[in-house]
Amino acid sequence: MMDPGTPAEEEARQDPIPAQVADWIAESERQRDELRVLVDAHSTDALRWRPQPGRWSIAEHIRHLVLTNEEYIDALQESLAQAAAEGFAGHPPYASSFFGSRFLRSLEPPVGRRFKTLKRLNPPSEPGSPDEVLAAFDAGMDRYEALLRSNARVDMGRARMRSPFLWLLKLTLAEAAQVVLAHNRRHLWLADEVIRSPGFPAAGSG
């Protein structure tokens, strides 16, 4: 017999997930599938190949996402818990703020302007095996999806949080949730740019 869980968990199971939140979860799942296909299609050498000095390999792009998502999802989890405790209840659609919308657009591909990465978010010189980095990415997105499901009743359009990376930037929690997905899309595009680079190892080599 399945454990009924806490009253809050039971209520969350019975409540349908709002369409806007369900769309974010579906996009997370799509990104995970896309990354799995990308990793499975290339050798370890190809995934670690750099197009030029100073540019990341595909494996390094994925490891950067792991590092960034871990810290960002920690901050989102803390802010969602605080919003729930303070009684921020509501449902989508969530409107975006002027600055939040601009920031989200700046992350989206195609990538034009490149930003300097904080030192702590730079991937290590040894990013790990493809399976390891992919498993770490999936674990982070598991957390992300679980957070959205369990906090679907929180008014993410009213509650706000500071970016853990840009202290002056304050976003609604709905915008913050979308930042994770937009940043993932950015680096999926950059990973594809590596594949399109001259000299990229052919499939099956290495």
Residues of the chain where predicted confidence (pLDDT) is lower than 70: 1-15, 203-206
| Nearest to 148, CA basis, from 187, 100, 191, 180 | 180
| Nearest to 28, CA basis, from 14, 36, 41 | 36
**What structural domains and CATH numbers belong to the chain?**
18-196 (1.20.120.450)
User: What pLDDT is stored for residue 91 in this prediction?
Assistant: 77
Q: What is the pTM of this model?
A: 0.89
Beta bridge partners of 170: 162
User: What pLDDT is stored for residue 191 in this prediction?
Assistant: 97
User: What pLDDT is stored for residue 2 in this prediction?
Assistant: 42
Residue 111 belongs to what H/E stretch? none
Tokens of 143: 């957390």
pLDDT (tens digit, 9 = 90+) per residue, 58-116? 999 999 999 999 999 999 999 999 999 999 988 778 878 889 999 999 999 999 888 88
Tokens of 166: 């840009």
Distance CA 173, CA 81 (A): 11
Beta bridge partners of 171: 161
CB atoms within 10 A of CB 10: 11
User: What pLDDT is stored for residue 5 in this prediction?
Assistant: 52
CA atoms within a 13 Å half-sphere pointing along the CA-CB vector of 104: 19
User: What pLDDT is stored for residue 67 in this prediction?
Assistant: 97
User: What pLDDT is stored for residue 14 in this prediction?
Assistant: 53
Q: Work out whether the CA dihedral 113, 172, 91, 24 comes out positive or negative.
A: positive
Q: Give me the amino acid identity at 142.
A: D
| Nearest to 61, CA basis, from 160, 184, 164, 153 | 184
